[in-house]
A and B are shown apart, each in its own frame.
Chain A
Amino acid sequence: MYCITSVKSREGCSLKDLRIRFLIILFVLGITWWLAFPLKEKVKLGLDLRGGLDITYEIDVDQLKKLTSDQRAQSIMDKLDELGSVDYKVTVDKDGSIHVKINDLPKNKLVEIEALMQGFVNYQFIKVADGEYTLRFKKEALTKLIKDAQMKAVTVIRNRVDELGVKEVNITTYGIDRIRVQIPGIKDAQEAIDIIGRTAILQFRLVEGPAASMDEKVSDDVEILPEITDKGVRYWKVQKRVLLTGDMLKNAYVGFDNMGRIAVDIEFNSVGAQKFAKITNENVGRLLAIVLDQKVQSAPQIREPIYGGRAQITGNFTDKEAKKLAIVLRAGALPAPLKKLGATIVGPTLGTDSIRRGVKAITYGFLLVLLYMMVVYGFAGVIASSALVANFIIMMGIMAYFNATLTLPGIAGLILTVGMAVDANVIIFERIREELAMGKTVGAAIDSGFSKAFWTIFDANMTTLITALVLYFYGTGPIRGFAVTLSAGIVASMFTAIFMVKFIFDFFHKIRQYKTLSI
């Protein structure tokens, strides 16, 4: 490293050159100081330091396929009813394939239903015979389906989190089927988990009759679902056919039933209200099961047709449960159940505790290293220590600029960079020592010390930088925080060790014209 301008005299770099370098250093420090301070506001803290909820979900693809096919089967059955067919069977397999058998439609009507099925974009249409058809998922369509579900789930989760009144939430997606929700500083994390992760698929289905147990044999178009009451579990034979779903709801809120117990009142939108009227009209006297996530919430009897589009969900609700259900129904159901892959809840005390520990370690570490450097390298050691301070400011500035998150391993990274930053200075100082021992003048020793050391420092720092990059891409959350502080530290230390410290050396040499160097 020589002087920036080519003007160089025997006493060192020209004054103009020194002035330019000084301004550059001032500029860099000034900007990073402004970016980083006050620290509390400018630097983002990770969940492990702030406390909060961090939960990762995966879309249950099997259930997604089944739900999608159930909807399609529903529309097929609606159309068949429209065409006047009564002897038909529409079933959905475990893998989501739909099988249709129609026994009583003439060819000209079959064409209509075939057209409908051929229009289902995600499915491959297979005609087994006249009146017998199979629909299977297309592979490419499946990927798109999952991705769409992922996006819809993110929206629903966001709505639910909004209802919770949470101010800050971070929702990220991984791959096609994973969702990560991070809510810093939340007070009741368990409640949040209950609300966010709840599938909340609300369905209205007709009841065939009570069932004795889960194992009772039923026909293909019926399944057995449990109802959990305060007296134990009851089983129902419920039609598989879904007549109404929760996405037809306009509103849901907590109310009371006619015995004064807590219930959830729901209001359908216009389409839903119409359908509801039709269903209640055609099925007076039958039981209508309100199914929530494959469990019968209640199965009231339809006493008369209901035209107002309002209904009530009763059950064994506590005030809290009813509120949660209302929130979840208002925000909308998830497109498919979410499997919880992992969750971490960090309490706020632990966070502040960790920060306190980290700050203590950094301060003491810094002071000890400072002392050591001064003892071993004398005046040069003092200069190196000032570089450390500058280092810290620049690192924080870089982190604030890139809006990086400081995590607990990140603090460890800060502490580590104290040691590593000193290394660059050590390499340079040792080199200068050797040059002096070889008999060079102070000015020449400084110059050749810095220039010869440059490539060594560069190589050494490159390997650490490569490590940091790999860590960034491999790691999640806290580890990424470490990689970021490490990288910021390397960049900062290269600047301070090579540019800033050299300037200080040159400056002092210029004004003092040292004959020997305390190093």
Chain B
Amino acid sequence: MNRKPINFMGAAKYLFPISIILMIISLGILTFKGLNYGIDFTGGTLLHLKFEKEVSISDLRKAVADTGLKVRIQPVAKGASFSQIGMGMKFKSDEWILSTVYLKDSGEGWTKAKFIKVLEDRLGVKVKEILKSSDVGPTIGKELKWKAIKAAVLALIFMMIYITYRFEFWFGFGAVFALVHDVLLTLAVFSLAGFEVESSFVAAILTLIGYSLNDSIVISDRIRENMKIRYSKDFVELINVSLTQTLRRTLNTSLTTLIPLTLLVLYGGPALFSFSFALWIGVLVGTYSSIFVVSPIVLHAQKGAWRVK
């Protein structure tokens, strides 16, 4: 190399333990706070309503309280979704997403029509259009959760097999470890923020798994190549060099993926929000972990063997 390699591994000495701590914290957050599961998983009824006039969130909350049902309210913002992320009491909109328990099971003969009528009466504003209505029975909800977990595990197994086949074991282990790191941190962010999680979120996590592996593979590939041509006797230097060589690629790829993702997060609408935001966080964390999580693992696994050669 004609310029000095960046000392990534030096920084990794501090960053790697921080990553481990973050993983443990994430696990804690997930265990105690858990995720905000949408009706896809819990079962329930969802109504995406467009009112004839704008309604404030406090009025809507009062109207909902009249029904005696537990209802979650989400405003739909026009244009950019900054307001998706932060909702204040003063928020007003004519488009709302309401989710509640599965109306069929909730007793007192609740139907969607009755529910809407109560809201209309209390608010004094009529519903212009039901943009979307969804009923999910409890059976399907539970199954979806199971299917999601099975899919994630299956994907992980296939990945491990593929990587172990193409690379050596420690590369595979490092890549999967970084992957678990990425998923845990992303889940923790969602848990903290309380964003709703439904079936497309699972798709995002699975995509994240593929993407995170992408990154790890490109870097591992370079490390392996440098090992083959015996670039340096010092393994730490070899890794630093590999990382510096691939840095431009890593940054450019992340940026070109983040640009469309950012647009999706802002303008994709409520249906795609959890999906795109999960990927957005995932790509950020994934880029970090490819450099500072995979390599330290590979380093410590191979260092001994390298010296002997």
Contacts and interface: CB of A to CB of B under 8 A. Distances in A.
Interface stretch (B29-37, B131-139, B297-305): B131-139
A401 B79 CA distance: 34
A407 B154 CA distance: 24
B207 A467 contact: yes
A427 B218 CA distance: 9
Interface in A354-413: 354, 357-358, 360-362, 364-366, 368-369, 372-373, 376, 408-409, 412
Contacts of A364: 263, 267
Interface size class for chain B?
35 or more
B260 A471 contact: no
B94 to A, nearest CB: 13
A415 B265 CA distance: 12
Contacts of B202: 479
A419 B133 contact: no
Contacts of A478: 199-200
B162 A412 contact: no
A419 B279 CA distance: 12
A465 B159 CA distance: 10
Interface stretch (B61-69, B84-92, B245-253): B245-253
B261 interface: yes
A426 interface: yes
Interface in A305-364: 339-347, 349-350, 353-354, 357-358, 360-362, 364
A345 B257 contact: no
B90 to A, nearest CB: 25
B193 interface: no
A466 B210 CA distance: 8
B250 to A, nearest CB: 9
Interface in B198-214: 199-200, 202-203, 206-207, 209-211, 213-214
Given A420-B211, A464-B210, 19 more contacts: A341-B136, A342-B136, A344-B135, A345-B130, A347-B129, A353-B269, A365-B264, A368-B263, A412-B276, A416-B279, A418-B256, A419-B258, A426-B252, A427-B249, A459-B217, A463-B162, A463-B214, A464-B213, A471-B151
Interface of A: 48, 56, 58, 339-347, 349-350, 353-354, 357-358, 360-362, 364-366, 368-369, 372-373, 376, 408-409, 412, 415-416, 418-420, 422-423, 426-427, 430, 434, 437, 455-456, 459-468, 470-471, 473-476, 478-479, 482-483, 486
Interface of B: 2, 48, 50, 104, 129-137, 139-140, 147-148, 150-151, 154-155, 158-159, 162-163, 166, 199-200, 202-203, 206-207, 209-211, 213-214, 217-218, 221, 245-246, 248-249, 252-253, 255-261, 263-264, 267-269, 271-272, 275-276, 279
